[in-house]
Amino acid sequence: MSTGKKTLVGQIDPTVLAYTAGEDVLLDRVLVEVDCIGTAAHVTMLSEMPLAHPLFTVAEKDQVVAALIGVIRDHRKEAFRISASDQDVHLAVERALTAKLGDLGKRVHTGRSRNDQVAVDLRLFAKEQLFHISRETAGLAKVLLAFAEKHREVPMAGRTHLQPAMPSSLGLWASAHAESLLDDLELIRGAYRQNDRSPLGSAAGYGVPLPIDRARTSELLGFSRPIHNVLYASMARGRCEHVILMALSQVMLSVSRLAEDMILYLMPEFGYFSLPPAYCTGSSIMPQKQNPDVFELARARSADVLSCAMRVASILKGLPGGYQRDLQETKAPFMEALRLTHETVTVLQPLMQSLQVHEDSLRAGCIPGVFATDRALELVADGVPFRDAYDRVKSEPDALEGRDPLVAALQKKHEGAPGGLHISGLAKRATDTIDFVNREQKCYNNKVSALLGIEYPSL
């Protein structure tokens, strides 16, 4: 029987310790700052608690906050370590505070649990990540919309079953992908709103016999409000992550469909577009190759994000109420999906911005057949019943020669058709998202600055 390794929470067998800490020792590195911010809010609230013997005087609270700022600075200099015996960021920060402040450090955990902490940390972390992802997704939508505006009058064959179908425009194609991302951004906004609630004060999920003020910690951290029920606050771990991952999955689904179109249209057989060589990769054996690897990886990584959402959902399904250690395993797929989505919507922007358009090939793709439906509708305008017009057009394929695809595309002027695109209306939705994110981020930074008594995030 192993005597075990000394930790803040008892002697634990080293193999068990390594197995149970799992990836936390590494993953939690991105949570150091938010863990310190959460602790600053908790200790500030404790210092305001009406007790005969205050847990922290104002001066002591200030000492703790100063030490927390020290931990953040050490972390930024890569001088803060989470060791195996810490198990996670929460105990690592408590150890550092106790080393520096003695008894004061030992008091910071009063009235809260690590479940409380990890839930707050992940929500603050996600908030920040959603700012970046929303901004970059809106940025990609804007790039596509600028492209659509510029190429409003470039003809393109609209396809169904990948076969040429109707005369269309490059503007319609690009702004379709943009509008998909704009709808995805609404899902992110919904997920952001659910994430923007404070779980702090749930403790082990059942509250504590202390007059803690949950509304106060929520406000100090810039959340919109506390999650009401403390047991639900604990059970919302993983749930909130999954809601976010569902929104990210939609973003990546939109992106993967754009990527697939790009891979096809970059093929020399289509020749619609080409990319600057710096955005392609070559082959080690075939000197001529210019491969669209970024789009292929975006397509594959959308599968990764979908599977991250499924990993989290699979862990949650059937999990009993209250904290279960299983929840720890939702952390890695959550972080991975946030990272992959952010990287993907970011990397695609310069590629789409520098796309070279080959109008001749796009025009050549508009084979005479694409005018068949237009001609049938012309016959309808002359009073021929549609089915008769359809049969006549089918039997006279030569009558479709010599039409201009651009004229045909732009003649569809109703809302949302190639000749009726309201691109500036779509662009406003992207700009509104960016404005919302900037306001929210500023508000969050102001709250943290007030809490720490120093300009955040610059410190």
Q: What residues act catalytically?
A: 161, 283
Alpha helices by DSSP H, listed for 354-385, are 359-364, 372-381
In the complex, minimum distance from the CB of residue 41 to ligand ARG, in angstroms, rounded to a whole number: 18
Give whichever of 112 and 142 is closer to ligand ARG, judged by the CB atom.
112
In the complex, minimum distance from the CB of residue 320 to ligand ARG, in angstroms, rounded to a whole number: 14
The set of residues, in sequence order, having a beta carbon less than 8 Å from that of 372 and lying 6+ positions away, is 393, 394, 397, 400
In the complex, minimum distance from the CB of residue 238 to ligand ARG, in angstroms, rounded to a whole number: 10
The set of residues, in sequence order, having a beta carbon less than 8 Å from that of 286 and lying 6+ positions away, is none
Q: What is the H or E stretch that residue 237 is in?
A: none
Closest by CA position to 7, among listed 76, 74, 90, 77: 90
- Specify whether the CB–CB gap between 63 and 104 falls below 8 A: yes
Give whichever of 114 and 429 is closer to ligand ARG, judged by the CB atom.
114
The set of residues, in sequence order, having a beta carbon less than 8 Å from that of 424 and lying 6+ positions away, is none
**Terminal alpha carbon distance of the chain:** 48
Q: What is the H or E stretch that residue 42 is in?
A: helix 32-48
Give whichever of 238 and 292 is closer to ligand ARG, judged by the CB atom.
238
Give the footprint of ligand ARG on this chain (CB under 6 A): 24, 88, 114-115, 118, 323, 325, 327-328, 331
Measured CA to CA, the distance from residue 67 to residue 88 in angstroms comes to 19
How many CA atoms within 13 Å lie on the side-chain side of 373? 11
Phi, psi of 239 (to 5 degrees): -65, -50
Closest by CA position to 107, among listed 49, 46, 65: 46
**Residue of minimal CB distance from ligand ARG?**
328
Measured CA to CA, the distance from residue 435 to residue 142 in angstroms comes to 13
Measured CA to CA, the distance from residue 234 to residue 333 in angstroms comes to 19
In the complex, minimum distance from the CB of residue 38 to ligand ARG, in angstroms, rounded to a whole number: 13
Give whichever of 236 and 393 is closer to ligand ARG, judged by the CB atom.
236
In the complex, minimum distance from the CB of residue 6 to ligand ARG, in angstroms, rounded to a whole number: 17
Give whichever of 7 and 290 is closer to ligand ARG, judged by the CB atom.
7
Query: In Å, what is the CA distance from 444 to each residue of 37, 219, 451?
Result: 12, 10, 11
Q: What is the H or E stretch that residue 239 is in?
A: helix 239-265
In the complex, minimum distance from the CB of residue 235 to ligand ARG, in angstroms, rounded to a whole number: 13
Token pair listed for 250: 């939609």
Give whichever of 24 and 60 is closer to ligand ARG, judged by the CB atom.
24
Give whichever of 114 and 301 is closer to ligand ARG, judged by the CB atom.
114
Q: Tell how many helices (H) and how many strands (E) occur in the chain.
A: 18, 8
Phi, psi of 155 (to 5 degrees): -75, 155
In the complex, minimum distance from the CB of residue 323 to ligand ARG, in angstroms, rounded to a whole number: 5
Give whichever of 25 and 71 is closer to ligand ARG, judged by the CB atom.
25
In the complex, minimum distance from the CB of residue 24 to ligand ARG, in angstroms, rounded to a whole number: 5
Give whichever of 89 and 154 is closer to ligand ARG, judged by the CB atom.
89
Query: In Å, what is the CA distance from 185 to each residue of 139, 181, 190, 251, 384?
Result: 11, 6, 9, 8, 45
* Cis-peptide into 199, omega within 30 deg: no
Which residue type occupies 381?
A
Measured CA to CA, the distance from residue 408 to residue 368 in angstroms comes to 11
In the complex, minimum distance from the CB of residue 90 to ligand ARG, in angstroms, rounded to a whole number: 6
Measured CA to CA, the distance from residue 305 to residue 291 in angstroms comes to 23
